[in-house]
């Protein structure tokens, strides 16, 4: 029985080799050699190299956080405890040198204390895109974050501060969230020498995966210029968005309709010199009277220096002026309790923290932020202290 099995195995292997040889010979004639030891040289196809044309990469990260937050007006109801702040996983497939696709999911505890479920909507699609790279740049179709509000569209795992500033949080939720966040749409990006530029057409309202919350579209554009030297790199840029609004859909998700036009501008500067990094961005938005009572503006200034021992102190200053909109309150910050007042006009926040990079996968962060709110019926402030452990793969 063993002899018969061995014979069958050898016969099958010989037939397979003969078939491969025939296929190779059909593509290119095999060279013949003459004289002693002459014969046919057969070159088998490189199957391993062919299999590498399509690549799949899985990546992700998790953030475990301890927090303590309180406010002046609600000091007896402070929030404290442990939470999985974020857990994300992404799968990217590179089909060939031109085509690729990526899908990502995220669990975000947000203001819900880490509870999972449909009511909290903490499990969601982070990104779902198809990308084509050609001589005219990169074209992406799908669902992702447009380039507006740097702390929002930059990855959470690379942020210098543990949480977003009051200015970032306000502008990402401004005008029913029509300016920032994840949108379905089409993006185009390209570069020429030191210039980078792009344009996007998306759904009007964020988190609109189905495209049925509003019939209109929003427009995004970005332009940047990079100055480089042996010692430093400085990037000047401008992100812009225009949402023309649409009041024809009063019967569809009326709480999420962009009733009037609204637009936003974000000039920014990024400076990197050795282990020092600084990010400065300004935020401005205005729109029709039914969407915004008056213009709002804000700014973020973040600086960090990473020492040779991989400890990185971080400082961030944030300012926000909501004008006559008067719709700022501490609850816009993550996990911060509030006394119900939502009529503040301005806010100023100071963040002091440090990151420790144990290795390229593990980061430990600690940070304290104090945010002062002004212009309301009574004075108010918010405190937040956080410890965070992040692991990436």
Element (H, E) at 3: helix 2-27
Q: Identify the three-state secondary structure at position 18.
A: helix
Please give the pLDDT value at position 246: 74
Q: What tokens were used for 90?
A: 């992404």
**Per-residue pLDDT, 183:** 92
Give CA separation, 8 vs 2, 4, 13, 38, 50, in Å.
10, 6, 9, 30, 29
Q: Please report whether residue 48 resides in a domain.
A: no
How many domains does the chain fold into?
Answer: 1
Q: What gap in Å lies between CA 67 and CA 69, rounded to an integer? A: 7
169 phi/psi in degrees, rounded to 5: -60, -40
Question: Is 11 part of a structural domain of the chain?
Answer: no
pLDDT value for 116:
53
9 domain residue, yes or no: no
pLDDT tens digits for range 287-325: 988 888 899 999 999 999 999 999 999 999 999 999 888
Neighbours of 293 (CB within 10 A): 14
Tokens 């009051």, residue? 166
Report in angstroms the alpha-carbon separations of 72 from 15, 56, 176, 374: 82, 50, 28, 13
- The low-confidence residues of the chain, meaning pLDDT below 70, are 1-53, 75, 109-121, 176, 213-214, 247-257, 339-341
The reported pLDDT for the residue numbered 257 is: 65
pLDDT at residue number 14? 47
Distance between CA atoms of residues 387 and 65, nearest Å: 6
Residue 336 is part of which domain span? 62-392
Asked if residue 365 belongs to a domain, the reply is yes
- Residue 23's pLDDT is 44
The Cα–Cα gap between 109 and 38 comes to 72
Determine, yes or no, domain membership for 5: no
- pLDDT for the residue 377: 72
Residue whose entry in the numeric block shows the structure tokens 């959470």? 156
Whole-angstrom CA distances from 85 to 157, 198, 366 are 11, 31, 14
Predicted local confidence at residue 93, as pLDDT: 94
Alpha-carbon span 150 to 280, nearest angstrom: 10
**12 lies in some domain:** no
Is residue 190 situated within a structural domain? Answer: yes
292 lies in a domain?
yes
Return the pLDDT at 366. 98
CATH number for 259: 2.40.160.10
| pLDDT attached to residue 5 | 40
Q: What is the pTM of this model?
A: 0.81
- Non-local (6+) Cβ contacts of 47 within 8 A are none
Residue 205 class from Cβ within 10 Å (0-12 exposed, 13-18 middle, 19+ buried)?
Answer: buried
């Amino acid at each position: 029985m063993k002899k018969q099995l061995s014979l069958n195995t050898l016969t099958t292997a010989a037939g397979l080799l003969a078939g491969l040889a025939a296929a190779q010979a059909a593509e290119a004639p095999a060279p013949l050699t003459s004289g002693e030891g002459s014969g046919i040289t057969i070159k088998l196809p490189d199957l391993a190299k062919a299999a590498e044309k399509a690549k799949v990469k899985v990546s992700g990260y998790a953030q475990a956080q301890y927090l303590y937050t309180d406010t002046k007006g609600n000091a007896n109801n402070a929030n404290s405890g442990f939470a999985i702040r974020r857990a994300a996983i992404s799968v990217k497939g590179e089909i060939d040198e031109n085509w690729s696709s990526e899908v990502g999911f995220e669990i975000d505890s947000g203001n819900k204390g880490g509870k999972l479920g449909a009511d909290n909507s903490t499990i969601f699609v982070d990104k779902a895109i198809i990308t084509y790279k050609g001589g005219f740049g990169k074209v992406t179709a799908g669902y992702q974050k447009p380039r507006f509000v740097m702390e929002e569209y930059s990855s959470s795992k690379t942020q210098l501060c543990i949480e977003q500033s009051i200015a970032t949080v306000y502008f990402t939720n401004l005008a029913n969230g029509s300016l920032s966040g994840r949108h379905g749409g089409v993006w185009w990006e390209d570069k020429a020498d030191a210039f980078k530029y792009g344009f996007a057409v998306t759904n009007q309202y964020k988190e609109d995966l189905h495209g049925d919350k509003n019939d209109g579209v929003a427009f995004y554009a970005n332009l940047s210029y990079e100055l480089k030297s042996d010692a430093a790199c400085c990037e000047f840029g401008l992100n812009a968005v225009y949402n023309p609004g649409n009041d024809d859909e009063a019967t569809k998700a009326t709480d999420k309709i962009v009733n009037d036009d609204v637009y936003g501008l974000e000039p920014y500067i990024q400076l990197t010199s050795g282990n020092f990094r600084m990010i400065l961005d300004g935020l401005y938005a205005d729109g029709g009277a039914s969407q915004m009572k008056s213009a709002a503006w804000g700014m973020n200034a973040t600086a960090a220096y990473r020492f040779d021992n991989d400890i990185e102190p971080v400082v961030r200053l944030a300012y926000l002026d909501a004008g006559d909109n008067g719709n700022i309150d501490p609850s816009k910050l993550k996990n911060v309790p509030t006394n119900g007042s939502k009529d503040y006009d301005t806010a100023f926040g100071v963040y002091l923290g440090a990151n420790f990079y144990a290795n390229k996968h593990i980061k430990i962060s600690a940070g304290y932020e104090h945010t002062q709110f002004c212009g309301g019926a009574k004075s108010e402030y918010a405190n937040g202290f956080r410890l965070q452990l992040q692991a990436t793969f």
